[in-house]
């Protein structure tokens, strides 16, 4: 059966409030959680961006949920540091942590002052990073000279079993590419045919492990509230690659999203006050074969969503 979790949006919600939300989510029937590791939000209206790794330790301690994080090693982070972070959480909370690895977005990575490489170089850098992380988690001493440089690194604290390294993808080409190295796949909601093709591309290329989906949604007691929340909070997130990869600052995202319409937002967010509509959307995703579905309510007040979906939506899906 599909496992239903919650997405914890550091880019929208202060970390203490987000911790309270995942504690409440477990109490209301959510089975898992995930978050992303960003340095900046996509809009000044979102207004937050706490350090995911600090928060994950608190969240894993405060709940019994499994947690994942989407991370981009290679520029803002040296992969040896990410291996150490993964290894520490894996050792403290066996079987409850995974990391999804991607090639990054310039809005987070420009803080290093380094150049933003072309996509093919970023993907090659990611593969080198994955190799370094896996070798360190296996207990090897690692030295590398390439896109990633490592000098005699070794992890002294390691879990008995390395946490899964999952591939993050939004295109079928990247999904197939992830099959060559990943322990699973995570993507975001899109039209049904595209999601079906994503799973097929990953599996046909030999992809193993779970396929996971992050679903952006907006629910409120009235349709106007659900629409207003979605348009206010997520209109900076409607842009497809390479735009979303290559913009540098929150201000740039806000400028290009000034004239984004509600209908454009509806293409990437499931917006409705009708719980039956959300149930049908989620059933449809599950029927495609997703093993885990993480619900991301794009509003900044999660408690009404958690309580309502815990009482009325999750039971209908099981």
The predicted pLDDT at position 152 comes to 98
Q: Quick one: which of 10, 124, 122 has its CA closest to 67?
A: 10
Answer whether 206's CB lies under 8 Å from 197's CB.
Answer: no
Helices marked H in 79-189 — which ranges?
Answer: 79-92, 106-109, 119-137, 172-178
pLDDT in tens, 210-266: 999 999 999 999 999 999 999 999 999 999 999 999 999 999 999 999 999 999 999
Under-50 pLDDT residues of the chain? none
Q: How far is 87 from 188, CA to CA, in rounded Å?
A: 26
Dist. CA 216–CA 7, nearest whole Å:
9
Q: What is the pLDDT of residue 200?
A: 98
Structure pTM?
Answer: 0.96
Identify whether the C-beta of residue 79 lies closer than 8 Å to the C-beta of residue 145. Answer: no
Distance CA 166, CA 182 (A): 5
106: helix, coil or strand? helix
Question: What is the per-residue pLDDT for 129?
Answer: 98
The answer to whether 150 touches 167, Cβ cutoff 8 Å, is no
Pair 213, 191: CB distance under 8 Å? no
Q: Are 207 and 286 in contact (CB under 8 A)?
A: no
């Amino acid at each position: 059966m599909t496992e239903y979790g919650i997405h914890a949006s550091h880019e929208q919600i202060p970390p203490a409030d987000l911790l309270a939300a995942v504690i409440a989510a477990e109490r209301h029937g959510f089975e898992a959680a995930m978050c992303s590791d960003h340095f900046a939000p996509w809009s000044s209206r979102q207004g937050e961006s706490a350090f995911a790794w600090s928060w994950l330790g608190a969240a894993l301690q405060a709940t019994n949920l499994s947690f994942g994080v989407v991370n981009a090693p290679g520029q803002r982070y040296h992969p040896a540091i990410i291996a150490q972070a993964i290894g520490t959480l894996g050792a403290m909370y066996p079987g409850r942590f995974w990391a999804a690895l991607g090639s990054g977005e310039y809005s987070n990575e420009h803080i290093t002052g380094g150049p933003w490489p072309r996509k093919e170089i970023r993907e090659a850098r990611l593969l080198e990073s994955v190799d370094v992380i896996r070798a360190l988690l296996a207990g090897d001493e690692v030295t590398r000279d390439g896109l990633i440089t490592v000098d005699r690194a070794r992890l002294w604290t390691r879990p008995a079993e390395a946490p899964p390294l999952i591939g993050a993808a939004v295109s079928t080409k990247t999904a197939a590419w992830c099959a060559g190295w990943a322990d699973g796949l995570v993507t975001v909601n899109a039209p049904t045919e595209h999601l079906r093709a994503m799973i097929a591309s990953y599996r046909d290329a030999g992809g193993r492990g779970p396929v996971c989906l992050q679903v952006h949604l907006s629910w409120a007691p009235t349709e106007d509230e659900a629409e207003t929340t979605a348009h206010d909070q997520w209109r900076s997130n409607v842009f497809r690659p390479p735009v979303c990869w290559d913009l540098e600052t929150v201000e740039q995202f806000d400028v290009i999203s000034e004239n984004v319409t509600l209908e454009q937002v509806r293409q990437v967010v499931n917006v409705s006050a009708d719980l039956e509509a959300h149930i049908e959307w989620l059933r449809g995703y599950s029927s495609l074969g997703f093993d885990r579905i993480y619900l991301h309510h794009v509003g900044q007040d999660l408690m009404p969503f958690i309580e309502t979906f815990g009482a009325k939506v999750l039971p209908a899906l099981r």
